[in-house]
Amino acid sequence: MGKKELYGRIVKEMGALRPLFGEAPNRWKKVDPSSIGEKKTLFGLCRACMQGDCATLVHMEDGIVVRVEGNPDAPPNWGTLCPKGNAEIMALYNPYRIKTPMIRTNPEKGLDVDPMWKEVTWDEALDYAAEGLRKIREKDPRGLIICKGWGQRDTIMRKPFGQAFGTPNETGSHGALCTVHFPTGLVQSGHPVAIVDLEYCQYHITLGRSLGPNFSSVPGMRRFARAIARGMKLIVVDPRSSYEASKGEWVPIRPGTDLAFLLSMAHVMLHEIKVFDVWFLKNRTNAPYLIDEKGEYIRDPETKKPMMWDTVENRAKPYNGEFKDIALSGTYNIQGMLCKTAFDLIKEEFEKYTPEWAEKITTVPPETVRRLAREFVEHARIGSTIEIDGFTFPFRPVSLNVERNVTNRRGGTYADLVGKIINMLVGNIEVPGGCLSCGFRGPIMGPTDEGTTTPRYEAVPRPFTFPPEHATLQEFYPHQHTAPHLVLNAILYPEKCYLPYRVEGWLSVGGNPIRQNAQPEKYVEGFKKLSFVVSIAFHMDEPAILSDVLLPEHSALERLRVASFHVQHQSIDNEVSGLKMIQLREPVPTLFNTRNADDIFMDLAERLGILYGEGGLYDYLNQDEDFVEKSDGLSLNGEWKLDLNRRYTLEEIFDRQIKGWPYSGGKGLKELREKGYIEYWKPKKEFYLYYYFPDNKTRHPMYFMELKRVGDRLRTNLLEHNISFPMIEDMDYVLNLYRPIPHWVESSEFRGPEEGYDLWAINWKTPYFACDSSNLTGNPWLAEVYTKDPWESVILINPATALRKGLKDGQMVVVESRYGRIEGRLKVSELFHPDAVGIGGGYGLGTCQSNPLNRMGPNFNALLSIDPITYDGVSAGQDTAPAVRVYGKEEAR
């Protein structure tokens, strides 16, 4: 059966599920009679992808939503919108939504086990949920996991609810396969990632990430199309010729080997080209810092400051002294110790990583690496400047950026850090045309007392305690991103994880690690061990069907929302740089007996006695600050803080947030309703972080001393307690990733071929699937398109590989990793590296009560592992390119 026939069959089979959902259409609330004959337009704010900032107009006729389209007058999308956003109507009018509160009556749990739901009133459901949560709290509040995810990014109460409850275990299902944050926090004090300045960039190398088109991110696509049209050269190093590679130069690479490619590119720059931004290296990095034989900074005995060598005075001085000329290279005898510059040590380490060495790992021809490195350096225009708003910046129109498909494996953090070194060699960090972080824009890149940029966000290590306080085991992975996989290990193997308490409960709000992380059967096993599961649920997804009580929430279009605009994650240009904005989503009338997740949180907190007073939800909400945008985000400021002893509506809280926003000019929700957004434009020069700490006012770390320090501390602590990392025998397997100079390490999947797993599976976001907000795979409009798309919901391999394995286009195949096994239809494609097995999007799995479309297609994540051996030891990111073998389905029998 072909994809299209299967889709047709599924549409027909949807009817069989009807009894489970009652006579759904008849139970959709009747429209308000006063809206008959009325046409009106609401301001919308799209929530169909992680970015979630496209301004929309929601047109209504007779009380029915007839169209969601881009708002032509509003940034950042000015009327344009992606397929997901255009399809939001079908997420609203979706009979597979959970329409009323329900309580499980069947104690047996499973994805294919009918929970025998009992419909209840909101009061009954909230009482039941509060009672279950109270029991956990009385025993040990740490026993509750609160799991967020891309299914619900509109709540402002989740975090303060967890704090008031007393659990430190709030984590996201969405992050463990996207651990991309640490290096940018370390080198650029920024978050979440480093992006390219498409206003000026002339030569861009991108690896394992998207500039927008791969997942149809609208503002990203606008900038991408403009940059390509103006002639920017784009190099895409990837196992797949993606939407983006198709507009530039594709450099195919064996999956999971980007670290070797980057090391060899850095080698060529350091040992062959030898053209650097010397001024930048001497004045804006710690490359000239003197390092002793133990890898520590040589320090001035008096000031304790790290030292550099003055080649004119022929002596070492604290880095903040007056220098006639700073030595970038050289070996010196100081304080009776032989020491070298950090730059020389990095150069020495990288000497062995020749393109010929790398080719055996990556398959990228050495001449290609050499050409790319040369072109990168040539396009950097080292020494040039540009004036913006009267301020003179270094001008470096090149950038190399990496993300999840590079960082998510053992050594992935190193790959990102080597990328940073490549960028630093041409001096393009945080200057026009170059490599920019995309979080808060302001004076955050200031130096520590060692002169290097202050590590921020996830580069700030969490403290070590033993036994661990967190089920996320952040004590062992102090730079981890979100950690559902570690929580699952803590549930399944609490002793091995040294957890001093048991995880008893799970509160799901938009998070779905079962479908969106790894080894779903292990998650189901973990969920079965829990005594109480509550889902604030939109549809009958995997966590919902395993829940004891369902608290149904609004669809995205029904949620009132006021949000501050974040710098976008794919790229930037002048269309939005410098924009400070808050955006409004006016809710459409509700269809079912659902509630806003934040109202649910307030009701639960009130029942648990943790809403009011000091240490209550409102108290924590008062203290809350936007993690990324900091003081530029929406918070409760000054006179607008909540009174801790009275109940507020969500509208009142948003109104207070807006009034306290530094750029609102005293406006509130009433004024926000006038055009759907309030904007404030900062001068363009203030977007570039160089502006706040120019010249030698701060130094980006190139020798990663902070990483070494955290590793050293971890080693000391583990030895003190006579333990290793949970479920990892040899602590050096992790600690080798904490050396201050990146080096080649093998991922857990690297030697797969020796065990007969001779290919590597890869995954990417697609134009119809980005993060599964609003259950995109279940959206029938998108399904109609993705079932016809040649590269969606199939298993893709190169024709030469298919021939070698005797596999034919269209046949059913099995893809098997050492952790899981999936089946799907084979599609032979020239767009893939011969060692890659391509499986895009997030299809498959689903439950016996979910939209059958969710069960269709291969579930890539089932091939991944929760075993800590597969992680990058710094970020705790799981390997996203598992070694696999592929064979015809008949052979399996």
Partner 1 sequence: MVIDLKRCAGCNSCTIACKAEKGTPPGVGYHRVEKYEVGRYPAARMGFRPIPCMHCKEPACLEVCPTGATYKRYDGLVLVDHNRCMGCRYCVLACPYGARHFIRRIENYYGHFGRTPYEILKQKNLDEGIAVKCDFCVERLERGRLPACVETCPAQARYFGDLDDPKSEVSNLIAKEHARKLKEEFGTEPSVYYIEG
Task: Look at residues 402, 376, 362 and name the one whose alpha carbon lies nearest to residue 204.
Answer: 376
- Judged by beta carbon, residue 295 or residue 799, the one nearer partner 1 is 799
Q: Which residues fall within 8 angstroms of residue 694, CB to CB, at 6 or more apart? A: none
Stretch that binds partner 1, among 93-101, 291-299, 489-497, 596-604 (CB under 8 A): 93-101
Answer for which of 221, 537, 807, 826 binds partner 1 (CB under 8 A) is: 221
Told to check if 233 binds partner 1 by CB under 8 A, we report no
Answer for which of 165, 200, 203, 250 binds partner 1 (CB under 8 A) is: 250
Q: What is the DSSP letter of 877?
A: P
Stretch that binds partner 1, among 60-68, 468-476, 628-636, 646-654 (CB under 8 A): 60-68
Told to check if 773 binds partner 1 by CB under 8 A, we report no
Binding-site size, partner 1 (CB under 8 A): 78
Interface pattern 61-80 for partner 1 (x via CB under 8 A): xx-xxxxxxx-x----x-xx
- Judged by beta carbon, residue 217 or residue 865, the one nearer partner 1 is 217
Interface pattern 748-767 for partner 1 (x via CB under 8 A): -------------------x
Q: What is the edge-to-edge ordering of all strands in the sheet holding 561-564?
A: 561-564, 579-585, 677-681
Q: Helix, strand, coil % (nearest 5) of the chain?
A: 35, 20, 45
- Judged by beta carbon, residue 170 or residue 244, the one nearer partner 1 is 244
Answer for which of 145, 205, 634, 782 binds partner 1 (CB under 8 A) is: 782
Angle in degrees, CA 363, 258, 773, rounded to 5: 125
Answer for which of 47, 99, 204, 247 binds partner 1 (CB under 8 A) is: 247
Q: Which residues ranging from 833 to 892 are in contact with partner 1 (CB under 8 A)?
A: 833-834
| Least Å from the CB of residue 371 to partner 1 | 15
Q: What is the CA radius of gyration of the chain?
A: 27
* Cα torsion through 188, 190, 194, 199, rounded to 10: -90
- Judged by beta carbon, residue 212 or residue 726, the one nearer partner 1 is 212
Instruction: Report the distance separating Cα 873 and Cα 725, nearest Å.
Output: 9
| Least Å from the CB of residue 781 to partner 1 | 5
Tokens of 261: 């490619």
Interface pattern 175-214 for partner 1 (x via CB under 8 A): -------------------------------------xx-
Tokens of 691: 């502006």
Stretch that binds partner 1, among 215-223, 305-313, 429-437, 678-686 (CB under 8 A): 215-223
Stretch that binds partner 1, among 87-95, 508-516, 549-557, 642-650 (CB under 8 A): 87-95
- Judged by beta carbon, residue 108 or residue 367, the one nearer partner 1 is 367
Answer for which of 117, 161, 203, 243 binds partner 1 (CB under 8 A) is: 243
Q: What is the edge-to-edge ordering of all strands in the sheet holding 398-402?
A: 249-252, 233-238, 203-207, 398-402
| Least Å from the CB of residue 238 to partner 1 | 11
| Least Å from the CB of residue 212 to partner 1 | 8
| Least Å from the CB of residue 388 to partner 1 | 25
| Least Å from the CB of residue 810 to partner 1 | 16
Stretch that binds partner 1, among 240-248, 323-331, 400-408, 529-537 (CB under 8 A): 240-248
Q: Which residues ranging from 251 to 280 are in contact with partner 1 (CB under 8 A)?
A: 252
User: Distances in Å between the alpha carbon of 520 and those of 328, 443, 527, 579, 859?
Assistant: 51, 43, 10, 41, 10
Tokens of 696: 């030698």
| Least Å from the CB of residue 14 to partner 1 | 4
Length of the chain equals 893
Coil, helix or strand for 807?
coil
Told to check if 222 binds partner 1 by CB under 8 A, we report yes
Q: What is the DSSP string of 719-761?
A: HHTT--STT-S-THHHHGGG-SS------TTTTGGGGT--EEE
Coil, helix or strand for 524?
helix
| Least Å from the CB of residue 5 to partner 1 | 13
Stretch that binds partner 1, among 163-171, 241-249, 318-326, 690-698 (CB under 8 A): 241-249
Q: Assess contact for 190 and 202: CB atoms under 8 A.
A: no
Helix (H) or strand (E) holding 581: strand 579-585
- Per the listing, tokens 């007073």 go with 613
| Least Å from the CB of residue 762 to partner 1 | 15
- Burial category of 94 from C-beta neighbours within 10 Å (exposed 0-12, middle 13-18, buried 19 and up): buried
Task: Look at residues 583, 764, 675, 589 and name the one whose alpha carbon lies nearest to residue 208.
Answer: 764
- Judged by beta carbon, residue 243 or residue 457, the one nearer partner 1 is 243
Task: Look at residues 522, 251, 410, 413 and name the one whose alpha carbon lies nearest to residue 881.
Answer: 410
Answer for which of 75, 95, 478, 882 binds partner 1 (CB under 8 A) is: 95
One-letter amino acid for residue 116 of the chain: M
Instruction: Report the distance separating Cα 775 and Cα 855, nearest Å.
Output: 12
| Least Å from the CB of residue 406 to partner 1 | 19
Instruction: Report the distance separating Cα 799 and Cα 828, nearest Å.
Output: 5
Instruction: Report the distance separating Cα 323 and Cα 315, nearest Å.
Output: 10
| Least Å from the CB of residue 785 to partner 1 | 5
Answer for which of 167, 264, 829, 875 binds partner 1 (CB under 8 A) is: 829
Coil, helix or strand for 586?
coil
Helix (H) or strand (E) holding 490: helix 484-492
- Judged by beta carbon, residue 64 or residue 735, the one nearer partner 1 is 64
Answer for which of 831, 863, 874, 884 binds partner 1 (CB under 8 A) is: 831
Told to check if 100 binds partner 1 by CB under 8 A, we report no
Tokens of 9: 């069959």
Q: Assess contact for 252 and 239: CB atoms under 8 A.
A: yes
Angle in degrees, CA 99, 101, 106, rounded to 5: 110
Answer for which of 152, 173, 242, 482 binds partner 1 (CB under 8 A) is: 242
- Judged by beta carbon, residue 488 or residue 770, the one nearer partner 1 is 770
Told to check if 571 binds partner 1 by CB under 8 A, we report no
Told to check if 87 binds partner 1 by CB under 8 A, we report yes
Task: Look at residues 138, 136, 162, 143 and name the one whose alpha carbon lies nearest to residue 471.
Answer: 143
| Least Å from the CB of residue 655 to partner 1 | 31
Tokens of 483: 């950690």
| Least Å from the CB of residue 129 to partner 1 | 28
Told to check if 768 binds partner 1 by CB under 8 A, we report yes
Task: Look at residues 685, 687, 693 and name the one whose alpha carbon lies nearest to residue 390.
Answer: 685
| Least Å from the CB of residue 599 to partner 1 | 24
- Per the listing, tokens 């052979």 go with 891
| Least Å from the CB of residue 51 to partner 1 | 12
Conformational region of residue 365, where left means phi above 0, alpha means psi within -120 to 50, and beta covers everything else: beta
Q: Which residues ranging from 6 to 35 are in contact with partner 1 (CB under 8 A)?
A: 11-16, 18, 21, 24-25, 28, 31
Told to check if 366 binds partner 1 by CB under 8 A, we report no
SS (H, E, C) 447-474: ECCCCEECCCHHHCCCCCCCCCCCCCCC
Interface pattern 786-825 for partner 1 (x via CB under 8 A): --xxxx------xxx-------------------------
One-letter amino acid for residue 551 of the chain: L
